[in-house]
Chains A and B, each alone.
Chain A
Amino acid sequence: MSIILDHINYIYDEDTAMAHPALIDVNIKIENGEFIGLIGHTGSGKSTLIQHMNGLVKPTSGAVYFDGKDISDPDFDRKALRAKVGLVFQYPEHQLFETDCFKDVCFGPKNLGLSQKEVELRAYEALKQVGFDDDYFYQSPFDLSGGQKRRVAIAGVLAMKPEILILDEPTAGLDPKGREDILGLIKSLHDEMGITIILVSHSMDDVADYVDRIIVMNKGKVAFDDIPKEVFRHRKELEEIGLAAPQVTYVMQELKAAGFDVDVDVTTLDEAKNEILRAFSK
Protein backbone atom coordinates (compact mmCIF):
# COMPACT_ATOMS: atom_id res chain seq x y z
CA MET A 1 0.00 0.00 0.00
CA SER A 2 1.36 3.38 -0.95
CA ILE A 3 0.06 6.75 -2.02
CA ILE A 4 1.70 8.65 -4.83
CA LEU A 5 0.81 12.25 -5.55
CA ASP A 6 2.07 12.93 -9.03
CA HIS A 7 2.39 16.53 -10.22
CA ILE A 8 -0.72 17.67 -8.37
CA ASN A 9 -2.06 21.13 -9.06
CA TYR A 10 -5.19 22.41 -7.45
CA ILE A 11 -6.87 25.74 -8.14
CA TYR A 12 -9.63 27.08 -5.91
CA ASP A 13 -12.60 28.73 -7.61
CA GLU A 14 -11.25 27.94 -11.03
CA ASP A 15 -12.77 29.97 -13.88
CA THR A 16 -13.82 32.77 -11.54
CA ALA A 17 -12.20 36.07 -10.68
CA MET A 18 -11.31 34.58 -7.28
CA ALA A 19 -9.21 31.77 -8.75
CA HIS A 20 -6.02 31.09 -6.83
CA PRO A 21 -3.76 28.08 -6.71
CA ALA A 22 -3.78 26.06 -3.47
CA LEU A 23 -1.36 23.37 -4.59
CA ILE A 24 1.40 23.81 -7.13
CA ASP A 25 3.14 20.80 -8.67
CA VAL A 26 3.16 18.64 -5.55
CA ASN A 27 4.99 15.32 -5.76
CA ILE A 28 4.91 13.09 -2.71
CA LYS A 29 5.26 9.36 -2.19
CA ILE A 30 4.03 7.83 1.03
CA GLU A 31 5.13 4.31 1.85
CA ASN A 32 3.55 1.71 4.08
CA GLY A 33 4.19 2.16 7.79
CA GLU A 34 5.61 5.67 7.70
CA PHE A 35 5.04 8.23 10.46
CA ILE A 36 4.97 11.59 8.74
CA GLY A 37 4.60 15.12 10.07
CA LEU A 38 2.95 17.55 7.68
CA ILE A 39 3.73 21.12 8.63
CA GLY A 40 2.94 24.52 7.26
CA HIS A 41 1.42 27.74 8.48
CA THR A 42 -2.25 28.56 7.96
CA GLY A 43 -3.09 28.71 4.27
CA SER A 44 -0.01 26.78 3.11
CA GLY A 45 -2.09 24.05 1.48
CA LYS A 46 -1.84 21.30 4.13
CA SER A 47 -5.55 20.69 4.41
CA THR A 48 -6.11 20.77 0.66
CA LEU A 49 -3.29 18.29 0.31
CA ILE A 50 -4.73 15.74 2.74
CA GLN A 51 -8.12 15.97 1.11
CA HIS A 52 -6.49 14.77 -2.11
CA MET A 53 -5.19 11.69 -0.36
CA ASN A 54 -8.59 10.11 0.13
CA GLY A 55 -10.26 11.52 -2.92
CA LEU A 56 -12.38 14.18 -1.23
CA VAL A 57 -10.95 16.70 -3.65
CA LYS A 58 -10.06 16.05 -7.26
CA PRO A 59 -6.84 17.64 -8.50
CA THR A 60 -7.11 20.29 -11.22
CA SER A 61 -4.25 18.47 -12.93
CA GLY A 62 -2.00 15.58 -11.98
CA ALA A 63 -2.96 12.22 -10.52
CA VAL A 64 -3.20 10.43 -7.18
CA TYR A 65 -2.27 6.76 -7.15
CA PHE A 66 -3.32 4.43 -4.37
CA ASP A 67 -1.51 1.09 -4.58
CA GLY A 68 -0.53 1.89 -8.12
CA LYS A 69 -4.08 2.64 -9.28
CA ASP A 70 -5.27 6.06 -10.36
CA ILE A 71 -8.04 7.05 -7.97
CA SER A 72 -9.77 9.28 -10.52
CA ASP A 73 -10.23 6.28 -12.81
CA PRO A 74 -14.03 5.73 -13.20
CA ASP A 75 -13.62 2.07 -12.18
CA PHE A 76 -11.79 2.89 -8.97
CA ASP A 77 -13.73 2.17 -5.76
CA ARG A 78 -13.50 5.51 -3.98
CA LYS A 79 -15.78 4.42 -1.19
CA ALA A 80 -13.33 1.68 -0.26
CA LEU A 81 -10.52 4.22 -0.51
CA ARG A 82 -12.15 6.41 2.12
CA ALA A 83 -12.26 3.48 4.49
CA LYS A 84 -8.60 2.71 3.83
CA VAL A 85 -7.46 6.30 4.19
CA GLY A 86 -9.05 7.57 7.39
CA LEU A 87 -9.23 11.30 7.87
CA VAL A 88 -9.63 12.81 11.32
CA PHE A 89 -10.54 16.45 10.87
CA GLN A 90 -9.73 19.33 13.17
CA TYR A 91 -11.94 19.33 16.23
CA PRO A 92 -13.38 15.94 15.26
CA GLU A 93 -15.54 15.91 18.38
CA HIS A 94 -17.76 18.50 16.71
CA GLN A 95 -18.86 15.70 14.42
CA LEU A 96 -20.09 13.40 17.17
CA PHE A 97 -23.85 13.17 16.98
CA GLU A 98 -25.18 9.88 18.33
CA THR A 99 -26.90 9.36 21.67
CA ASP A 100 -24.09 7.24 23.05
CA CYS A 101 -20.40 6.77 22.31
CA PHE A 102 -20.72 3.18 21.14
CA LYS A 103 -23.37 4.01 18.53
CA ASP A 104 -21.30 6.91 17.31
CA VAL A 105 -18.32 4.67 16.64
CA CYS A 106 -20.62 2.15 14.88
CA PHE A 107 -21.69 4.74 12.34
CA GLY A 108 -18.66 4.40 10.07
CA PRO A 109 -18.45 0.61 9.78
CA LYS A 110 -22.25 0.43 9.47
CA ASN A 111 -22.00 2.58 6.35
CA LEU A 112 -19.49 0.15 4.90
CA GLY A 113 -22.37 -2.35 4.74
CA LEU A 114 -20.96 -4.79 7.29
CA SER A 115 -23.10 -7.15 9.39
CA GLN A 116 -24.35 -5.85 12.72
CA LYS A 117 -22.09 -8.26 14.57
CA GLU A 118 -19.00 -7.17 12.65
CA VAL A 119 -19.94 -3.50 13.13
CA GLU A 120 -20.20 -3.89 16.88
CA LEU A 121 -17.05 -5.93 17.08
CA ARG A 122 -15.13 -3.25 15.26
CA ALA A 123 -16.60 -0.46 17.36
CA TYR A 124 -15.62 -2.32 20.53
CA GLU A 125 -12.12 -2.92 19.24
CA ALA A 126 -11.68 0.68 18.16
CA LEU A 127 -12.82 2.09 21.49
CA LYS A 128 -10.41 -0.28 23.23
CA GLN A 129 -7.58 0.81 20.94
CA VAL A 130 -8.00 4.44 21.91
CA GLY A 131 -7.97 3.44 25.59
CA PHE A 132 -11.59 4.31 26.23
CA ASP A 133 -13.04 3.03 29.49
CA ASP A 134 -15.91 0.47 29.25
CA ASP A 135 -17.90 2.43 31.79
CA TYR A 136 -18.38 5.28 29.34
CA PHE A 137 -19.42 3.23 26.30
CA TYR A 138 -23.10 4.03 26.70
CA GLN A 139 -22.70 7.59 27.89
CA SER A 140 -23.66 10.49 25.72
CA PRO A 141 -20.52 11.75 23.98
CA PHE A 142 -21.54 15.26 24.97
CA ASP A 143 -20.95 14.55 28.65
CA LEU A 144 -17.28 13.77 28.11
CA SER A 145 -14.22 15.97 28.47
CA GLY A 146 -12.57 17.40 25.36
CA GLY A 147 -9.81 14.80 25.31
CA GLN A 148 -12.24 11.90 25.78
CA LYS A 149 -14.53 13.18 23.03
CA ARG A 150 -11.58 13.34 20.71
CA ARG A 151 -10.73 9.73 21.50
CA VAL A 152 -14.26 8.67 20.58
CA ALA A 153 -14.02 10.61 17.32
CA ILE A 154 -10.70 8.95 16.49
CA ALA A 155 -12.21 5.55 17.36
CA GLY A 156 -14.96 6.29 14.84
CA VAL A 157 -12.37 6.49 12.11
CA LEU A 158 -10.35 3.51 13.41
CA ALA A 159 -13.46 1.34 13.27
CA MET A 160 -13.28 1.65 9.48
CA LYS A 161 -9.92 -0.20 9.75
CA PRO A 162 -7.87 2.35 7.83
CA GLU A 163 -4.42 1.52 6.54
CA ILE A 164 -3.50 5.18 6.60
CA LEU A 165 -4.65 7.58 9.26
CA ILE A 166 -4.44 11.30 8.60
CA LEU A 167 -4.99 13.55 11.60
CA ASP A 168 -5.44 17.28 11.16
CA GLU A 169 -4.19 19.12 14.27
CA PRO A 170 -5.33 16.36 16.63
CA THR A 171 -4.12 18.17 19.75
CA ALA A 172 -5.67 21.60 19.11
CA GLY A 173 -7.44 22.99 22.15
CA LEU A 174 -6.35 20.25 24.56
CA ASP A 175 -4.47 20.84 27.81
CA PRO A 176 -0.81 19.72 28.00
CA LYS A 177 -1.65 16.32 29.49
CA GLY A 178 -4.39 15.80 26.92
CA ARG A 179 -1.95 16.67 24.15
CA GLU A 180 0.58 14.18 25.42
CA ASP A 181 -2.07 11.45 25.77
CA ILE A 182 -3.39 11.88 22.23
CA LEU A 183 0.11 11.93 20.73
CA GLY A 184 0.99 8.83 22.75
CA LEU A 185 -2.14 7.15 21.41
CA ILE A 186 -1.21 8.02 17.83
CA LYS A 187 2.28 6.68 18.37
CA SER A 188 0.93 3.39 19.67
CA LEU A 189 -1.40 3.08 16.65
CA HIS A 190 1.67 3.41 14.49
CA ASP A 191 4.07 1.25 16.49
CA GLU A 192 1.70 -1.53 17.54
CA MET A 193 -0.81 -1.71 14.71
CA GLY A 194 1.43 -0.64 11.88
CA ILE A 195 -0.95 2.05 10.67
CA THR A 196 0.68 4.65 8.44
CA ILE A 197 0.27 8.03 10.13
CA ILE A 198 0.22 11.51 8.68
CA LEU A 199 0.15 14.05 11.46
CA VAL A 200 -0.77 17.57 10.43
CA SER A 201 0.55 20.01 13.00
CA HIS A 202 1.69 23.51 13.75
CA SER A 203 3.81 22.41 16.62
CA MET A 204 7.38 21.59 15.75
CA ASP A 205 7.97 20.35 19.26
CA ASP A 206 5.27 17.69 18.94
CA VAL A 207 6.40 16.64 15.54
CA ALA A 208 10.10 16.46 16.39
CA ASP A 209 9.42 14.02 19.20
CA TYR A 210 7.40 11.54 17.18
CA VAL A 211 7.75 11.43 13.41
CA ASP A 212 10.35 9.86 11.08
CA ARG A 213 9.77 12.23 8.20
CA ILE A 214 8.63 15.82 7.86
CA ILE A 215 6.95 17.41 4.87
CA VAL A 216 6.88 21.20 5.03
CA MET A 217 4.35 23.02 2.86
CA ASN A 218 4.64 26.65 1.85
CA LYS A 219 2.36 28.57 -0.51
CA GLY A 220 1.05 25.39 -2.05
CA LYS A 221 4.45 23.86 -2.68
CA VAL A 222 6.52 21.25 -0.87
CA ALA A 223 9.30 23.29 0.73
CA PHE A 224 11.08 20.41 2.50
CA ASP A 225 10.60 16.66 2.63
CA ASP A 226 13.17 14.88 4.77
CA ILE A 227 14.00 13.39 8.17
CA PRO A 228 13.45 15.84 11.06
CA LYS A 229 17.13 16.57 11.67
CA GLU A 230 17.68 17.59 8.06
CA VAL A 231 14.55 19.73 7.92
CA PHE A 232 15.37 21.57 11.14
CA ARG A 233 18.83 22.34 9.84
CA HIS A 234 17.09 24.92 7.62
CA ARG A 235 16.16 27.14 10.56
CA LYS A 236 16.42 30.37 8.65
CA GLU A 237 14.27 29.18 5.77
CA LEU A 238 11.69 27.78 8.19
CA GLU A 239 11.48 31.12 9.96
CA GLU A 240 11.04 32.93 6.66
CA ILE A 241 7.97 30.85 5.91
CA GLY A 242 6.46 31.48 9.32
CA LEU A 243 7.62 28.31 11.05
CA ALA A 244 10.35 27.55 13.53
CA ALA A 245 12.61 24.75 14.66
CA PRO A 246 11.83 23.14 18.05
CA GLN A 247 12.59 25.34 21.04
CA VAL A 248 15.41 23.16 22.27
CA THR A 249 17.20 23.65 18.97
CA TYR A 250 17.30 27.39 19.66
CA VAL A 251 18.50 26.83 23.19
CA MET A 252 21.37 24.73 21.90
CA GLN A 253 22.25 27.41 19.37
CA GLU A 254 22.48 30.02 22.09
CA LEU A 255 24.61 27.72 24.20
CA LYS A 256 26.94 27.20 21.28
CA ALA A 257 27.11 30.97 20.73
CA ALA A 258 27.97 31.36 24.42
CA GLY A 259 30.95 29.12 23.95
CA PHE A 260 29.63 25.71 24.95
CA ASP A 261 30.77 22.74 22.94
CA VAL A 262 27.36 21.29 22.01
CA ASP A 263 25.76 19.84 18.91
CA VAL A 264 23.21 22.34 17.53
CA ASP A 265 21.32 19.74 15.49
CA VAL A 266 19.47 18.52 18.54
CA THR A 267 15.68 18.41 18.15
CA THR A 268 14.23 16.73 21.25
CA LEU A 269 14.39 17.44 24.95
CA ASP A 270 16.16 14.16 25.76
CA GLU A 271 18.82 14.77 23.16
CA ALA A 272 19.36 18.28 24.48
CA LYS A 273 19.69 17.01 28.03
CA ASN A 274 22.25 14.41 27.03
CA GLU A 275 24.21 16.90 24.97
CA ILE A 276 24.44 19.39 27.83
CA LEU A 277 25.37 16.70 30.33
CA ARG A 278 28.04 15.51 27.95
CA ALA A 279 29.43 19.04 27.56
CA PHE A 280 29.62 19.38 31.34
CA SER A 281 31.19 16.00 31.98
CA LYS A 282 34.27 16.88 29.99
Chain B
Amino acid sequence: MIRTNKLVFEYIRRDEEGNVEGITRAVDDVNIDVKPGQFIAVLGHNGSGKSTLAKHFNALLYPTEGEVIVDGMNTQDGEKLWDIRQEAGMIFQNPDNQIIGQVVEEDVGFGPENMGVPTDEIWERVDESLRTVNMLEFRKSSPNHLSGGQKQRVSIAGVIAMHPKCIIMDEPTAMLDPNGRKDIIRAARALNSVEGITVILITHYMEEVIYADKVFVMDKGHVEMQGTPKEIFSQVEKLKELRLGVPQVTLLAHELKKSGLPLPDGILTKEEFVEELKKLKKK
Protein backbone atom coordinates (compact mmCIF):
# COMPACT_ATOMS: atom_id res chain seq x y z
CA MET B 1 0.00 0.00 0.00
CA ILE B 2 2.68 2.46 1.09
CA ARG B 3 6.33 1.81 0.54
CA THR B 4 9.27 4.09 1.19
CA ASN B 5 12.60 3.45 -0.37
CA LYS B 6 15.64 5.01 1.33
CA LEU B 7 13.55 8.02 2.17
CA VAL B 8 15.46 11.11 3.30
CA PHE B 9 14.00 14.50 4.05
CA GLU B 10 16.10 17.53 4.84
CA TYR B 11 15.11 21.08 5.49
CA ILE B 12 17.19 24.18 5.62
CA ARG B 13 17.24 26.21 8.78
CA ARG B 14 17.52 29.95 8.26
CA ASP B 15 18.11 32.81 10.67
CA GLU B 16 16.01 35.97 10.73
CA GLU B 17 17.77 37.50 7.74
CA GLY B 18 17.20 34.38 5.72
CA ASN B 19 20.82 33.21 5.81
CA VAL B 20 21.30 29.48 5.87
CA GLU B 21 22.21 28.27 9.36
CA GLY B 22 22.34 24.61 8.64
CA ILE B 23 20.52 21.60 7.35
CA THR B 24 18.38 19.32 9.48
CA ARG B 25 17.78 15.78 8.43
CA ALA B 26 14.27 15.13 9.73
CA VAL B 27 13.82 11.76 8.05
CA ASP B 28 16.89 9.64 7.60
CA ASP B 29 17.00 6.55 5.40
CA VAL B 30 13.57 5.14 6.17
CA ASN B 31 12.50 1.93 4.47
CA ILE B 32 9.06 0.76 5.39
CA ASP B 33 6.49 -1.33 3.65
CA VAL B 34 2.85 -1.15 4.68
CA LYS B 35 0.65 -3.91 3.30
CA PRO B 36 -2.99 -3.29 2.37
CA GLY B 37 -5.32 -3.82 5.32
CA GLN B 38 -2.67 -3.52 8.00
CA PHE B 39 -3.02 -1.52 11.17
CA ILE B 40 0.30 0.22 11.68
CA ALA B 41 1.36 2.30 14.65
CA VAL B 42 4.22 4.77 14.65
CA LEU B 43 5.73 5.82 17.98
CA GLY B 44 8.44 8.32 18.71
CA HIS B 45 9.16 11.26 20.99
CA ASN B 46 8.49 14.89 20.07
CA GLY B 47 10.78 15.81 17.23
CA SER B 48 11.64 12.25 16.20
CA GLY B 49 10.37 12.74 12.66
CA LYS B 50 7.05 10.91 12.86
CA SER B 51 4.92 13.70 11.47
CA THR B 52 7.42 14.60 8.78
CA LEU B 53 7.39 10.99 7.68
CA ALA B 54 3.59 10.89 7.69
CA LYS B 55 3.39 13.97 5.51
CA HIS B 56 5.27 12.07 2.82
CA PHE B 57 2.54 9.44 2.67
CA ASN B 58 0.07 11.71 0.94
CA ALA B 59 2.45 13.99 -0.86
CA LEU B 60 2.31 16.95 1.50
CA LEU B 61 6.09 16.74 1.53
CA TYR B 62 8.41 15.33 -1.10
CA PRO B 63 11.53 13.29 -0.41
CA THR B 64 14.94 14.98 -0.63
CA GLU B 65 16.32 11.57 -1.54
CA GLY B 66 14.66 8.22 -2.11
CA GLU B 67 11.05 7.70 -3.01
CA VAL B 68 7.59 7.07 -1.61
CA ILE B 69 5.22 4.79 -3.48
CA VAL B 70 1.53 4.94 -2.59
CA ASP B 71 -0.50 2.13 -4.16
CA GLY B 72 1.93 1.91 -7.04
CA MET B 73 2.11 5.69 -7.58
CA ASN B 74 5.24 7.71 -6.94
CA THR B 75 4.39 10.78 -4.82
CA GLN B 76 6.69 12.89 -6.97
CA ASP B 77 4.55 12.24 -10.01
CA GLY B 78 2.60 15.52 -10.19
CA GLU B 79 -0.16 14.04 -12.32
CA LYS B 80 -0.99 11.48 -9.65
CA LEU B 81 -1.14 14.03 -6.83
CA TRP B 82 -4.92 14.11 -6.46
CA ASP B 83 -5.25 10.35 -6.81
CA ILE B 84 -2.72 9.90 -4.05
CA ARG B 85 -4.41 12.40 -1.73
CA GLN B 86 -7.73 10.70 -2.31
CA GLU B 87 -6.35 7.25 -1.61
CA ALA B 88 -4.36 8.25 1.44
CA GLY B 89 -6.43 10.49 3.69
CA MET B 90 -4.90 12.32 6.59
CA ILE B 91 -6.20 13.27 10.05
CA PHE B 92 -4.28 15.85 12.07
CA GLN B 93 -3.97 16.54 15.75
CA ASN B 94 -6.15 19.59 16.16
CA PRO B 95 -9.79 19.00 15.22
CA ASP B 96 -10.42 22.75 15.01
CA ASN B 97 -8.01 23.12 12.13
CA GLN B 98 -9.72 20.56 9.97
CA ILE B 99 -13.36 21.50 9.98
CA ILE B 100 -14.57 24.06 7.49
CA GLY B 101 -18.30 23.41 7.07
CA GLN B 102 -21.02 25.32 8.96
CA VAL B 103 -22.98 22.12 9.37
CA VAL B 104 -21.55 18.66 10.04
CA GLU B 105 -22.97 17.03 6.91
CA GLU B 106 -21.65 19.84 4.69
CA ASP B 107 -18.21 19.39 6.13
CA VAL B 108 -18.23 15.67 5.47
CA GLY B 109 -19.53 16.23 1.94
CA PHE B 110 -16.77 18.70 1.10
CA GLY B 111 -14.21 16.08 0.05
CA PRO B 112 -16.40 14.05 -2.30
CA GLU B 113 -17.88 17.26 -3.72
CA ASN B 114 -14.40 18.42 -4.70
CA MET B 115 -13.80 15.07 -6.35
CA GLY B 116 -16.83 15.65 -8.58
CA VAL B 117 -18.97 12.91 -7.06
CA PRO B 118 -22.62 13.24 -8.16
CA THR B 119 -24.88 14.91 -5.56
CA ASP B 120 -26.97 11.85 -4.72
CA GLU B 121 -23.91 9.80 -4.13
CA ILE B 122 -22.38 12.54 -1.97
CA TRP B 123 -25.34 12.28 0.38
CA GLU B 124 -25.07 8.52 0.45
CA ARG B 125 -21.40 8.76 1.30
CA VAL B 126 -22.07 11.38 4.00
CA ASP B 127 -24.67 9.11 5.58
CA GLU B 128 -22.47 6.09 5.46
CA SER B 129 -19.35 7.86 6.80
CA LEU B 130 -21.17 9.54 9.66
CA ARG B 131 -22.68 6.18 10.58
CA THR B 132 -19.23 4.56 10.59
CA VAL B 133 -17.92 7.05 13.15
CA ASN B 134 -21.21 7.00 15.06
CA MET B 135 -22.01 10.68 14.46
CA LEU B 136 -25.14 10.38 12.33
CA GLU B 137 -27.38 12.02 14.92
CA PHE B 138 -25.26 15.18 14.75
CA ARG B 139 -25.46 15.58 10.98
CA LYS B 140 -27.42 18.83 11.21
CA SER B 141 -25.38 20.25 14.10
CA SER B 142 -22.90 23.07 13.91
CA PRO B 143 -19.36 21.77 14.46
CA ASN B 144 -18.84 24.61 16.96
CA HIS B 145 -21.13 22.89 19.38
CA LEU B 146 -19.35 19.55 19.32
CA SER B 147 -16.71 18.30 21.74
CA GLY B 148 -13.15 17.74 20.56
CA GLY B 149 -13.65 14.00 20.17
CA GLN B 150 -16.85 14.52 18.20
CA LYS B 151 -15.14 17.06 15.93
CA GLN B 152 -12.31 14.65 15.36
CA ARG B 153 -14.80 11.94 14.39
CA VAL B 154 -16.38 14.36 11.93
CA SER B 155 -12.91 14.91 10.42
CA ILE B 156 -12.52 11.16 10.09
CA ALA B 157 -15.94 10.90 8.44
CA GLY B 158 -14.80 13.61 6.01
CA VAL B 159 -11.85 11.45 5.03
CA ILE B 160 -13.87 8.23 4.80
CA ALA B 161 -16.36 9.94 2.49
CA MET B 162 -13.56 10.17 -0.07
CA HIS B 163 -13.33 6.37 -0.01
CA PRO B 164 -9.62 6.18 0.73
CA LYS B 165 -7.68 2.94 0.82
CA CYS B 166 -5.54 4.23 3.63
CA ILE B 167 -5.94 6.68 6.51
CA ILE B 168 -2.99 8.30 8.21
CA MET B 169 -3.75 9.66 11.66
CA ASP B 170 -1.18 12.02 13.11
CA GLU B 171 -1.74 12.08 16.87
CA PRO B 172 -5.50 12.23 16.43
CA THR B 173 -6.14 11.87 20.16
CA ALA B 174 -3.55 14.24 21.61
CA MET B 175 -6.05 16.99 22.38
CA LEU B 176 -8.91 14.77 23.53
CA ASP B 177 -10.16 13.55 26.89
CA PRO B 178 -10.14 9.82 27.72
CA ASN B 179 -13.62 9.21 26.31
CA GLY B 180 -12.88 11.09 23.12
CA ARG B 181 -9.70 9.07 22.82
CA LYS B 182 -11.48 5.76 23.18
CA ASP B 183 -14.04 6.73 20.55
CA ILE B 184 -11.35 7.63 18.03
CA ILE B 185 -9.38 4.46 18.59
CA ARG B 186 -12.57 2.41 18.36
CA ALA B 187 -13.41 4.17 15.08
CA ALA B 188 -9.90 3.54 13.75
CA ARG B 189 -10.03 -0.14 14.61
CA ALA B 190 -13.48 -0.49 13.06
CA LEU B 191 -12.31 1.17 9.84
CA ASN B 192 -9.48 -1.30 9.71
CA SER B 193 -11.26 -4.52 10.61
CA VAL B 194 -14.72 -3.86 9.13
CA GLU B 195 -13.97 -1.65 6.13
CA GLY B 196 -10.54 -3.09 5.47
CA ILE B 197 -8.92 0.35 5.27
CA THR B 198 -5.21 0.47 5.96
CA VAL B 199 -4.61 2.58 9.07
CA ILE B 200 -1.40 4.30 10.08
CA LEU B 201 -1.70 5.65 13.59
CA ILE B 202 0.90 8.03 14.95
CA THR B 203 0.64 8.48 18.69
CA HIS B 204 2.25 9.16 22.05
CA TYR B 205 -0.16 6.99 23.94
CA MET B 206 1.26 3.52 24.40
CA GLU B 207 -2.13 2.02 25.23
CA GLU B 208 -3.40 2.90 21.75
CA VAL B 209 -0.95 0.74 19.86
CA ILE B 210 -1.42 -2.64 21.53
CA TYR B 211 -3.85 -3.75 18.83
CA ALA B 212 -1.65 -2.77 15.91
CA ASP B 213 -0.32 -5.41 13.52
CA LYS B 214 3.04 -3.76 13.49
CA VAL B 215 4.74 -0.93 15.37
CA PHE B 216 7.50 1.33 14.13
CA VAL B 217 9.48 3.36 16.65
CA MET B 218 11.15 6.46 15.28
CA ASP B 219 14.16 8.24 16.72
CA LYS B 220 16.23 11.01 15.15
CA GLY B 221 14.50 10.53 11.82
CA HIS B 222 15.11 6.83 11.38
CA VAL B 223 13.25 3.69 12.31
CA GLU B 224 14.89 2.55 15.54
CA MET B 225 12.68 -0.44 16.33
CA GLN B 226 10.00 -2.38 14.51
CA GLY B 227 7.91 -5.39 15.35
CA THR B 228 4.67 -6.54 16.88
CA PRO B 229 3.43 -4.66 19.96
CA LYS B 230 4.56 -7.60 22.08
CA GLU B 231 8.07 -7.50 20.68
CA ILE B 232 8.31 -3.74 21.07
CA PHE B 233 6.91 -3.52 24.57
CA SER B 234 9.16 -6.32 25.79
CA GLN B 235 11.98 -3.79 25.66
CA VAL B 236 10.97 -1.48 28.47
CA GLU B 237 14.40 0.01 29.12
CA LYS B 238 15.12 0.65 25.47
CA LEU B 239 11.80 2.48 25.06
CA LYS B 240 12.60 4.62 28.08
CA GLU B 241 15.88 5.62 26.48
CA LEU B 242 13.88 6.74 23.46
CA ARG B 243 11.78 9.02 25.72
CA LEU B 244 8.84 6.65 25.43
CA GLY B 245 7.05 4.42 27.86
CA VAL B 246 5.01 1.25 27.87
CA PRO B 247 1.38 0.63 28.85
CA GLN B 248 0.93 0.73 32.61
CA VAL B 249 0.17 -2.97 32.90
CA THR B 250 3.35 -3.77 30.99
CA LEU B 251 5.31 -1.50 33.30
CA LEU B 252 3.79 -3.10 36.38
CA ALA B 253 4.72 -6.58 35.09
CA HIS B 254 8.22 -5.34 34.28
CA GLU B 255 8.69 -3.91 37.79
CA LEU B 256 7.42 -7.11 39.37
CA LYS B 257 9.82 -9.11 37.27
CA LYS B 258 12.69 -6.93 38.47
CA SER B 259 11.56 -7.64 42.03
CA GLY B 260 11.83 -11.37 41.42
CA LEU B 261 8.48 -12.60 40.09
CA PRO B 262 9.17 -14.75 37.01
CA LEU B 263 6.75 -13.02 34.62
CA PRO B 264 7.22 -13.10 30.83
CA ASP B 265 8.10 -9.90 28.92
CA GLY B 266 5.60 -7.99 26.83
CA ILE B 267 2.38 -8.40 28.77
CA LEU B 268 0.00 -5.93 27.14
CA THR B 269 -3.42 -6.24 28.72
CA LYS B 270 -4.71 -6.66 32.22
CA GLU B 271 -6.35 -9.96 31.23
CA GLU B 272 -2.96 -11.38 30.20
CA PHE B 273 -1.44 -10.02 33.39
CA VAL B 274 -4.02 -11.71 35.61
CA GLU B 275 -3.63 -14.98 33.68
CA GLU B 276 0.14 -14.96 34.12
CA LEU B 277 -0.13 -14.25 37.83
CA LYS B 278 -2.62 -17.08 38.17
CA LYS B 279 -0.15 -19.46 36.54
CA LEU B 280 2.52 -18.32 38.98
CA LYS B 281 0.23 -18.84 41.92
CA LYS B 282 -0.48 -22.44 40.97
CA LYS B 283 3.17 -23.33 40.97
State the A residues within 8 Å of B (CB): 41-43, 99, 145-147, 172-178, 202-205, 242-244, 246-248, 250-251, 254-255, 258-260, 269, 272-273, 276-277, 280
Q: Which residues of chain A have C-beta atoms less than 8 A from B274's C-beta?
A: 251, 254-255, 258
Q: Which of B243, B251, B259, B273 contacts A178 (CB 8 A)?
A: B243
B214 to chain A, nearest CB (A): 20
Q: Could you tell me the distance between the alpha carbons of A177 and B206 in the complex, rounded to whole angstroms? A: 12
Which stretch, B2-10, B56-64, B169-177, touches the partner chain A?
B169-177
- If A172-B175, A242-B177 touch, whether A177 touches B281 (CB-CB below 8 Å) is no
Asked if A269 contacts B175 (CB within 8 A), the reply is: no
Say yes or no: is B244 at the interface (Cβ < 8 Å to chain A).
yes
Q: Which residues of chain B have C-beta atoms less than 8 A from A176's C-beta?
A: 45, 204, 206, 243-245
Say yes or no: is B102 at the interface (Cβ < 8 Å to chain A).
no
Residue of A nearest to B273 (CB): A251
B201 to chain A, nearest CB (A): 15
Residue of A nearest to B207 (CB): A247
Asked if B245 contacts A42 (CB within 8 A), the reply is: no
Say yes or no: is B210 at the interface (Cβ < 8 Å to chain A).
no
The 6 listed contacts between A and B (C-beta, < 8 Å) are A43-B147, A173-B93, A175-B46, A178-B45, A269-B252, A276-B261
Q: How large is the interface on B (under 10, 10 to 19, 20 to 34, 35 or more residues)?
A: 35 or more
Q: Could you tell me the distance between the alpha carbons of A15 and B262 in the complex, rounded to whole angstroms? A: 65
Asked if B255 contacts A273 (CB within 8 A), the reply is: yes
Q: Could you tell me the distance between the alpha carbons of A255 and B277 in the complex, rounded to whole angstroms? A: 8
Q: Which residues of chain B have C-beta atoms less than 8 A from A174's C-beta?
A: 46, 204
B241 to chain A, nearest CB (A): 9
Residue of B nearest to A173 (CB): B174
Q: Could you tell me the distance between the alpha carbons of A261 and B277 in the complex, rounded to whole angstroms? A: 12
Asked if A172 contacts B174 (CB within 8 A), the reply is: yes
State the B residues within 8 Å of A (CB): 16, 44-47, 93, 147-149, 171, 174-180, 204, 206, 240, 243-245, 247-249, 251-252, 255-256, 259-261, 270-271, 273-274, 277-278, 280-281
Q: Could you tell me the distance between the alpha carbons of A173 and B205 in the complex, rounded to whole angstroms? A: 10
A159 to chain B, nearest CB (A): 24
Q: Could you tell me the distance between the alpha carbons of A43 and B180 in the complex, rounded to whole angstroms? A: 12
B52 to chain A, nearest CB (A): 14
Asked if B261 contacts A277 (CB within 8 A), the reply is: yes
Q: Could you tell me the distance between the alpha carbons of A276 and B178 in the complex, rounded to whole angstroms? A: 27
Q: Which residues of chain A have C-beta atoms less than 8 A from B243's C-beta?
A: 175-178
Q: Which residues of chain B have C-beta atoms less than 8 A from A280's C-beta?
A: 261, 280-281
Among A42, A99, A242, A244, chain B packs the most CB atoms within 10 A around the CB of A42
Q: Which of A175, A260, A269 contacts B281 (CB 8 A)?
A: A260
In addition to A173-B93, A260-B281, 14 A-B residue pairs with Cβ atoms within 8 Å of each other are A42-B179, A145-B46, A175-B46, A175-B204, A176-B206, A203-B178, A243-B178, A251-B274, A254-B270, A254-B273, A260-B277, A276-B252, A276-B256, A276-B277
Q: Which of A247, A250, A255, A273 contacts B259 (CB 8 A)?
A: A273
Q: Could you tell me the distance between the alpha carbons of A41 and B271 in the complex, rounded to whole angstroms? A: 27
Q: Which of B46, B176, B244, B271 contacts A146 (CB 8 A)?
A: B46
Asked if A175 contacts B174 (CB within 8 A), the reply is: no
B16 to chain A, nearest CB (A): 8
A98 to chain B, nearest CB (A): 13
A70 to chain B, nearest CB (A): 33
